Amino acid sequence: QLQLQESGPGLVKPSETLSLICTVSIGSISTNDYYWAWIRQSPGKGPEWIGSVSHRGNTFYNPSVKSRVTISVDTSKNQFSLKLTSVTAADTAIYYCAREVSTARGVFGYWGQGTLVTVSS
């Protein structure tokens, strides 16, 4: 069973850059043409898709954060990463990495456990 694990700082200062890595195990990030995603959930709100990347580096971003986000993939390390610049308190959330299921685009069947990122000085 594919496993995903998020890692990165749990506390980021306002105006700085949030950086997270998702490590994929028991499976290759280069298998087929799946899209790998970052999704976040703030307290009391529904999940918010941040963006997705393929193993070839093709990316799609949520327009609401597009100007601040970069998602990239490192196939040699079986990882993909998220960078979100100029963060504010509104970016405080649990951040999940996820992968599409094999049979449908835009359906996330594999999720990491999530990592809480707090934006505070």
Partner 1 sequence: SFELTQPPSVSVSPGQTATIPCSGDGLSQKYVSWYQKKPDQSPVVVMYQDMKRPSGIPERISGSNSGNTATLTIRGTQAMDEADYYCQAWDSRTFVVFGGGTKLTVL
Smallest separation, CB 106 to partner 1 (Å):
3
* Cβ distance to partner 1 smaller for residue 8 or 47: 47
| Interface residues toward partner 1, by CB under 8 A | 37, 45-49, 52, 60, 62-64, 96, 101, 104-109, 111-114
Smallest separation, CB 59 to partner 1 (Å):
11
* Cβ distance to partner 1 smaller for residue 9 or 106: 106
* Cβ distance to partner 1 smaller for residue 80 or 96: 96
Smallest separation, CB 77 to partner 1 (Å):
22
* Cβ distance to partner 1 smaller for residue 76 or 103: 103
Of 39, 25, 118, 27, nearest to 71 (Cα)?
A: 39
